Amino acid sequence: MKKKVELTFMVVPEYLKSHCFVKDPIKVIVTDPEAIFLTGILGESGRKMVSAGIPFFFKKKLAMRLIEKGIAKQIP
């Protein structure tokens, strides 16, 4: 298991699961932490999570755009 990432803040995971959803999600691994940060989609905490290899769900349209630009790749 990878080393845990120290964050300034994080959403309580149980609340994410019970209160949030992504319509038409695609699960991705971001392959370029700097590029995703520069898009403005994720902030500093997001960059740290990306660097640690944490996967994300993005709406299909956004995920496909990131995949096409080589910033992310789809995972099962």
pLDDT at 59 over 90: yes
Domain range summary for the chain, segments of one domain joined by +: 33-76
pLDDT at 17 over 80: yes
Which pTM does this prediction carry? 0.86
Taking residues 51-76, what's their average pLDDT? 97
**In Å, how far are 8, 11, 12, 13, 46 from 19, measured between CA atoms?**
22, 11, 11, 10, 20
Distance of alpha carbon 59 from alpha carbon 12, whole angstroms? 21
Report residue 3's pLDDT band, with 50, 70 and 90 as the boundaries: confident
